[in-house]
Amino acid sequence: MSQSAIESDFSPVDSPASILNTLPDISIPAKGCSPRTQQQIDLLLLALEALELGASEQMLAIARQLGVDEIVKNRVNLWRLRCSNPWRRSYTRDYLSLDQAKALVIIAAYRARDLMVIIRQLLLAEQQMREKNFPLDNHFRLSEYLERFRAHFRSRMNSRRAKVSAYIASEEQLNELALSLLDKLLFCTGTRGMQRVWFSLFDGEVT
C-alpha cells in the first residue's frame, strides 16, 4: 500500500467537526446507535488493547490529537462509551450518539494505522501457520496477541449471553474472532477503508 493511499484517508484536520465529517452521516434512531453497532465498535477497540499495552492511553492521546477529546474525554468516559456494548459485564444500556460512534471508529482507525506493520506481521504469521498446518500458538507474537484477546474477552464479557458463552467455550472461535478483527483493523488503514468499515457497522440496519 502506498504512502499516498494512506494519507488520502488520514490527512490533517483543522477542527473536531472536520475529522468527524470524514465519516458520512447515517440515519439512526433518535435514541442512538443499535446494540450491534456498539458491540462491533467495542470489539475493534478490544483488539487494539490486545495488540499493545497501554492501549487506552494511546486512544486518549489520539482523541486529543484529533480534537475529539470533548467526546472521548478521559479513561472513565471511554470506559462508559464502551460499556454500551450489550455483551459487556458492565453493560450500561446506554446508546452511542452518531458523533460518539464516529469518534470511536476514527480513533480505532488512526491507531490501526500506527500499528499497521504489527497487524500485517500477525496476519502474515497466521497465513504461514495455516499453510504449514501448524497451531497458531506456535508463533510467539501471534500467540501473545491471541492470548491477550482471549483474556480480555473472558474477563470483560458477560458469559450469561448465549453468543458470548459460545465464544468462551471455544478457544478456536475466540481466535477466529480475534483474527477477523485484525483483518478489519488493517482494512481501516487502506484507501476509503475507514469509511467502508463504518458502513459495515450498520449493515442491514439502514436503507
Does 14 map to a domain?
Answer: no
pLDDT score of 3 more than 60 = no
> Which alpha helices (DSSP H) does 52-115 contain, by range?
55-66, 75-82, 98-114
Query: SS3 of 149, please?
Result: helix
The answer to whether residues 23 and 198 touch, using CB atoms and an 8 Å cutoff, is yes
Q: What is the pLDDT of residue 18?
A: 81
Does 97 map to a domain?
Answer: yes
* Category of 88 on φ-ψ map: left (φ > 0), alpha (ψ -120 to 50) or beta: beta
Q: 202 is written with which cell numbers?
A: 450498520
Q: What is the pLDDT of residue 14?
A: 54
Number of structural domains in the chain:
1
Looking at residue 54, the DSSP 8-state letter turns out to be T
- 47: pLDDT confidence band, cut at 50, 70 and 90? very high
pLDDT score of 2 more than 80 = no
Nearest of 198, 171, 174, 193 to residue 183 by alpha carbon: 193
Type of residue found at 187:
F
Stronger pLDDT, 5 or 29, i.e. the higher one: 29
What is the domain extent for residue 47? 31-200
Whole-model pTM?
Answer: 0.90
**Could you give the CA distance from residue 92 to residue 119 in angstroms, rounded to a whole number?**
31
Query: SS3 of 28, please?
Result: coil
Please write the tens of the pLDDT for every residue from 91-129.
Answer: 999 999 999 999 999 999 999 999 999 999 999 999 999
Does 145 map to a domain?
Answer: yes
Does 168 map to a domain?
Answer: yes
Does 7 map to a domain?
Answer: no
**Could you give the CA distance from residue 174 to residue 154 in angstroms, rounded to a whole number?**
10
Kindly compute the dihedral angle of the four CA atoms of residues 57, 59, 61, 64, in this order, to the nearest 10 degrees. Answer: -140
Does 205 map to a domain?
Answer: no
- 10: pLDDT confidence band, cut at 50, 70 and 90? low
Tell me which range, 7-11, 151-155, 200-204, is most confidently predicted by mean pLDDT: 151-155
The answer to whether residues 188 and 116 touch, using CB atoms and an 8 Å cutoff, is no
Which neighbouring-strand residues pair with 12? none
Tell me which range, 16-20, 43-47, 135-139, is most confidently predicted by mean pLDDT: 43-47
